[in-house]
Chains A and B, each alone.
Chain A
């Protein structure tokens, strides 16, 4: 407990919110209360989402877009209703621009494959370039490496500065007339950095390149307005925003979705099929082959309702206050080095750090013994670890249900880690 807590403002009523999340009430290791600080990996789920999943399966389960019977109509209405909710949540101009996928990885792979098989003017080939950044999650690196290998295109990337920001000093050399697509994260999952979207998009637009934004760490935590962003594609996942696993979203501009070819073929995505050829359904169905994750989409709709009822602005302010407090307290821990921005400016609620020479695996294990759940490792962002010359980090990440007392528990836990390995 500390004076640093004084003056914390903008906090949500976490006592009330936490009642919605059954898991936060459980204990581990002989009665120690769980301190869940791994929401950047996946968030916990409120009762409202769990109930929506249950009700769907108990009352409305049927395949969508097929049957004419009552329950099938209900399932379709619920699935398509979830699309409406997501469209409103991200301020999409049209519900038809919202494609349901399995997760953000699939969304990003879908964009890479649309472009790989596209005709001009979108086609990525050996005379063109793809741009990403050193700060990305592997899911926004590997699909582009695959595309580059398969098409002969050149993959280029922005580096990172010592204080965890994108190095845009050479932006005009990185993004050129040859660039077809620029894909980058809005908020880094390992560094917590919020990136300057506008500057990158302005340059991409100058050269006529498409822009894809990985919003996996943004959609759960801040107002996400795809029209304000001015990107061409935005990808995110449901399970990090209090929704279930198995459901992701790709938003794309309507004219692009009309022009670009499908990737997965199958049921649902067709208009007519003969043994010689097929024609395709309009977007978004063109990109949703096979039976979709119906219950999961319904669950995501409930998640969006839940977040909206609290308010994304308020959630963002809460996390900013918690992050400021956590940074302040962590910087007081001896031998602790924050990997990423050390202030709450342009920063999300994931904080990575190293603790002297103690390996993050060992840090995480000793924290677990005290009920504190953090992520350790390279966080699917190994290039970032290489950039800073470290094998791995320990990452604490916060969400709408996180409290200052949980930050204190983390700091106390780290003291224990230092004693244990000291």
Chain B
């Protein structure tokens, strides 16, 4: 059934048991909304030099947007900023692929659980849900950098 390609087990697991949820101390905070559906996220980033010490978040939204935030926390915390940007670029490429991109081994190595979102890219209305937390992270990081909180 087609629905299963969107609602992969991995996504539903992250939705039901989100990782790293809740707001903790951070260098910068942003609030992003998806105006078409009302999904919202408040996200904070904490840097330790070039390393992402924490990404904490609180929000409400559909399974896709919530699971995506959980996966983001898993993937990015502990990474160097440059590596995190590569992961973000890969996730963006996957989500903009309109279901045409079959993740290869190299991509799976970069994206880990996030490759499960490949099926979501077939549904244009839901791509924004998957990207909500990632755009918030990018914005929060830019804010933290401009405020000179990172090395």
Contacts and interface: CB of A to CB of B under 8 A. Distances in A.
Interface of A: 29, 359-362, 365-366, 369, 376-378, 382, 385, 391-392, 420-421
A420 B7 contact: yes
B37 A365 contact: no
A420 B2 CA distance: 13
B61 interface: yes
Contacts of B12: 421
Contact of B60 (A362, A366, A382, A391): A391
A378 B63 contact: no
B123 A378 contact: no
Contact of A359 (B2, B7, B61, B123): B61
Interface residues of B, number: 21
A361 B123 CA distance: 12
Given A369-B1, A376-B37, 16 more contacts: A29-B2, A359-B62, A361-B39, A361-B62, A361-B65, A361-B126, A362-B63, A365-B123, A369-B2, A369-B3, A382-B38, A385-B38, A391-B38, A391-B39, A391-B60, A392-B38
Contacts of B36: 377
Contacts of A420: 3, 7
A281 B137 CA distance: 55
B6 interface: yes
Closest 5 pairs (CB-CB, A-B): A361-B62, A359-B62, A392-B38, A377-B37, A378-B38
B129 interface: yes
B54 interface: no
Nearest to B59: A391
16 contacts: A29-B2, A359-B61, A359-B63, A360-B62, A361-B62, A361-B64, A361-B126, A362-B62, A369-B3, A376-B37, A378-B38, A382-B38, A385-B38, A391-B60, A391-B61, A420-B3
Contacts of B6: 365
A349 to B, nearest CB: 23
Interface string B98-140: 0000000000000000000000000100100100000000000
Interface of B: 1-3, 6-7, 12, 36-40, 60-66, 123, 126, 129
Most chain B CB within 10 A, of A361, A369, A382, is at A361
B128 to A, nearest CB: 10
A377 B38 contact: yes
B3 A391 contact: no
A310 to B, nearest CB: 33
A290 B63 CA distance: 47
A27 B110 CA distance: 39
Nearest to B1: A369
A100 to B, nearest CB: 29
A360 B34 CA distance: 14
Contacts of B2: 29, 369
Contacts of B3: 365-366, 369, 420
Nearest to B66: A359
Contacts of B39: 361, 391
B1 A361 contact: no
Contacts of B37: 360-361, 376-378, 392
A368 B60 CA distance: 22
B25 to A, nearest CB: 26
A376 B64 CA distance: 15
Contacts of A29: 2
